[in-house]
Every structure is written in C-alpha cells, then in structure tokens.
Amino acid sequence: MKSSVIHWAVSEVRDFDFLSEEYRSLFSRSDASPFQSPLWLARLYAELVLERAAQPFIITIRDGLSQRLIGVIPLAIHRHLGISVAVFADYGVSDYCSIVATTEDLKSFRDDDALTSQLRRAFRKCDLLIVRKVRAPALATFDVLGEVIRRPLGINAHATALGRSFDDWRERAMPRSLRRSLDKKRRSIGRKGHLKTQIIEDPDLIIAALHQILEFRRFRFKGHDKRDLLNEERYFRFYCEVARDPMFRAYVMTLDDRPVSIAYGAAWNDRFHLLLTGFDYLNYRNASLGLLVIEDAIKDCISRGDAEFDLTIGDQPYKRDFGTVETPMWWVLCGFSVVGRALSVLLSHSPRMLSLARRLVR
C-alpha cells in the first residue's frame, strides 16, 4: 500500500522553459538520456511538436513547500476522432522515453498515493496516454500514473560495455574473424590514400558533417520506400540545432581529406549514444566503412574514460558485432477515462492493434 510522506505540487505547463537553469539542474542530477536534455527538448517542441499541430502537455512535479523542480514528464496531446491522446515527446528522434527526475525521487514517486492522484487529475483532459520506447529498467517509474499496461515493443536497444583498454575491449567484444576482416579492410583502403578519423566537436563543423551524412544517405536510400527522417527539412534542421549542445560530437573518417564515413552522437553520463551514420556507398560499399568509423569512435570513447557505447534502438545485425548486450524496449499505455481505459486494453491485445497505437503516436 502506498503512502504519502511528501507534499508534491503537480502542474500542467504548455510553455515550459527547458533551457531554464532549474531544468538544466534537474537534468544534470537525473539519469535521463540525451533525448531529454534541455536543448533537445526545447528544439523538439519548437520544430516538431508545434509543426504537427499538437498541443504541448508538460507535467511538472515540484516540492510543495520550496517549489523546487523535482520531476518533468514531457508530452504532447493529439486529437483523433474526438479522442485526446497524450504521447511522449518523441516524434521519431528520441530513442528512449523516461520521466526526468533523480533515481531517488523516482523511487519515492512510486510509493506515494497522493502524487498518483494528483497526476491523474492533471491527465483528466486526456483519454489515453501512449509511450513508446521505454527501456526495461525505466518501466517501473511509470507506475506512478496508477494502473498502466505494459507490452513488449519487439525491438531492443544495444550497448557495449567498454573498459580501460581498446585492445582488451576489442578482443573481448568482437569475434576474431571480424577483427581480422576489419584489419584487412582498413589496410586495403589505406593503400588508396591516407585514411584517418577526426573527432569533431565544433558545432559548425558538426553541422557540415550532418550535411555530408545527408548526402551519403540520399544516395544510399535512393529508390527505397523506407522513410529517412533526416531527408525531411524539419528533422534535418532539428539535428543541426541540437548539434550546438556540447554533448554532441561527430567522427569523420577521411581518405586523403575527403569524407568517406561519419558517425554522429551524444555523450552523457559516461555513455556515448550513436544517433546517425553515413558512408560513401557509391565508391566503397563493400569496405565496411560504417563499422570502421564506429570502431574508431569506440577507441576514442575508451580514451576519454567512457563506460558504455550505446548503439541505441534497433536490431540491425551489425550491432552484435560489437559485443553489445540487448535491453528490451516496451510500450506503456494508460487510460484516464472510460473510453481511454477501454482503448488501452484494446490496443494492447494484439500486434495489429499496437500497430494502430504506433500510428497514433506518429
């Protein structure tokens, strides 16, 4: 049985300032991912939420006495056939969805009936909440909303634990046959010119690297039906704007100073999260340049003392080549009205209905 031991103040805020000092402080204390970082959420609401004609729906949790910001749930409301659906601020760019709060506060949230009641009152304008891409360790934090339904997403996240030595990591994580293959390919392409990987941290140079990734991917996916968000103006603009945050960096592999492979991602809390890659598919489609630049990025992360290299969400076979461990991803659904509760049960009953939920989220 939960009990109320702390007085909380729960509010809905439509124009929350994610760049404020109080949110920066909260994020820095939390275990949230770069996908909830200040600039990421500020630009996501400005570039993606508002352009979708969605209504920002940001829930804040404060200490009732001091008004200190304790937690934030970044959401948006969409309306479908008269039904109000709250979705996490994801919009295809965020791999992990989580409530932003410290680990200790998240534990205390789950033990407080009064907080659950306040949160459910704040959600009274919504029929249904849908959250995709919740990592298994974060699932329990959504229990603060009351009765929720959890379903496997059917996709995993993949991360590899690093260490103090790149050579030790490589021997432990990568199959011997792959190590030999990559060494051979590195030597082969190196005979064509001077091959090196540059670490790019200047925002303007990162943006230039993003333009190059876009060109690589346009050719790579030409004629494919697969949607590439980077090819859409508002999404590309979003990635360029968040690149000005110091947590972002790019790894640019060049052959005689001409870019041939690029990896782009964010570093936070001793983890590097790989977000985008691209390589010269036209001239080097069989040279494993994508794997080689990731290998170089991992080497740099180890030299910086990072503990983990996160290849993020998706079950592409190449990720297992880096000795990754799978973390299951989950749906969370929660109804706040008679219609919403019925829908949450219905949507969770079959893969076909979850496909409908996916369309609602998008």
**CATH number of residue 197's parent domain:** 3.40.630.30
Tell me the per-residue pLDDT of 13-69, one tens digit each, with 9 for 90 and over. 989 999 999 999 999 999 899 999 999 999 999 989 876 668 999 999 999 889 999
Q: Is residue 68 in some structural domain?
A: yes
- pLDDT for res 2: 53
- pLDDT for res 344: 85
Based on the domain organization, do 186 and 126 belong to the same domain? no
Based on the domain organization, do 186 and 121 belong to the same domain? no
How many separate domains does the chain show? 2
Q: Containing domain of residue 15, as a range?
A: 8-154+328-361
The stretch 174-193 carries a mean pLDDT of: 95
222: left (phi over 0), alpha (psi -120 to 50) or beta: beta
Q: Which of 122, 141, 136 is nearest to 9 (CA)?
A: 122
Q: Is residue 311 in some structural domain?
A: no
3 state SS for the chain? CCCCCCCEEEEEECCCCCCCHHHHHHHHHCCCCHHHCHHHHHHHHHHHHHHHCCEEEEEEEEECCCCCEEEEEEEEEEEECCEEEEEECCCCCCCCCCCECCHHHHHHHHCCHHHHHHHHHHCCCCCEEEEEEEEHHHHHHHHHHCCCEEEEEEEEEEEEECCCCHHHHHHHHCCHHHHHHHHHHHHHHHCCCCEEEEEECCHHHHHHHHHHHHHHHHHHCCCCCCCCHHHCHHHHHHHHHHCCCCCEEEEEEEECCEEEEEEEEEEECCEEEEEEEEECHHHHCCCCHHHHHHHHHHHHHHHHCCCEEEEEECCCHHHHHHCCEEEEEEEEEEECCHHHHHHHHHHCCCHHHHHHHHHHHC
pLDDT of residue 313 exceeding 90, the answer is yes
Q: Report the distance separating Cα 314 and Cα 190, nearest Å.
A: 31
pLDDT of residue 359 exceeding 90, the answer is no
pLDDT of residue 360 exceeding 90, the answer is no
- By DSSP bridging, strand 325-335 and strand 308-313 are unpaired
Residues 119/272, Cβ–Cβ less than 8 Å:
no
Based on the domain organization, do 350 and 272 belong to the same domain? no
Residues 261/289, Cβ–Cβ less than 8 Å:
yes
pLDDT of residue 351 exceeding 60, the answer is no
- pLDDT for res 345: 86
- pLDDT for res 1: 45
pLDDT of residue 260 exceeding 70, the answer is yes
Average pLDDT, the chain: 91
The identity of residue 143, as a single letter, is: D
Paired strand residues for 267: 272
pLDDT of residue 206 exceeding 60, the answer is yes
The stretch 208-235 carries a mean pLDDT of: 83
Based on the domain organization, do 70 and 15 belong to the same domain? yes
Q: Is residue 312 in some structural domain?
A: no
Q: Which of 101-105, 109-113, 114-118, 157-161 has the lowest mean pLDDT?
A: 109-113
Tell me the per-residue pLDDT of 112-155, one tens digit each, with 9 for 90 and over. 899 999 999 999 989 999 999 999 999 999 999 998 999 999 99
The stretch 299-310 carries a mean pLDDT of: 97
User: Torsion angle of alpha carbons 258, 292, 272, 152, nearest 10°?
Assistant: 120
The stretch 146-171 carries a mean pLDDT of: 94
pLDDT of residue 97 exceeding 60, the answer is yes
- pLDDT for res 228: 77
- pLDDT for res 79: 87
* N-term to C-term CA, the chain: 36
Based on the domain organization, do 189 and 255 belong to the same domain? yes
Residues 279/289, Cβ–Cβ less than 8 Å:
yes
pLDDT category of residue 357 using cuts at 50, 70 and 90: low
Q: Report the distance separating Cα 289 and Cα 167, nearest Å.
A: 20
Based on the domain organization, do 264 and 340 belong to the same domain? no
Edge-to-edge order in the sheet of strand 149-161: 8-13, 55-63, 69-80, 83-88, 128-135, 325-335, 149-161, 308-313, 271-279, 258-268, 248-255, 195-200
Q: Return the higher-pLDDT residue of 330 and 359.
A: 330
Based on the domain organization, do 258 and 129 belong to the same domain? no
pLDDT of residue 219 exceeding 90, the answer is no
Q: Is residue 3 in some structural domain?
A: no
Q: Is residue 340 in some structural domain?
A: yes
- pLDDT for res 6: 61
Max Cα distance, the chain (Å): 68
The stretch 348-356 carries a mean pLDDT of: 63
The stretch 201-226 carries a mean pLDDT of: 86
Residues 93/48, Cβ–Cβ less than 8 Å:
yes
- pLDDT for res 111: 80
pLDDT of residue 362 exceeding 60, the answer is no
List Cβ<8 Å contacts ≥24 apart for 171-174. Answer: 172/323, 173/322, 173/323, 174/321, 174/322, 174/323
Q: Is residue 323 in some structural domain?
A: no
- pLDDT for res 171: 96
- pLDDT for res 240: 95
Residues 69/16, Cβ–Cβ less than 8 Å:
no
Q: Return the higher-pLDDT residue of 336 and 229.
A: 336
Q: Which of 17-31, 248-262, 270-284, 346-360 has the lowest mean pLDDT?
A: 346-360
Q: Report the distance separating Cα 308 and Cα 157, nearest Å.
A: 13
Q: Is residue 2 in some structural domain?
A: no
Query: In sequence order, which residues have a C-beta less than 8 Å from that of residue 184 and are 6 or more positions away?
Result: none
Paired strand residues for 312: 158
Q: What percent of the chain has pLDDT over 90?
A: 74
Q: Is residue 97 in some structural domain?
A: yes
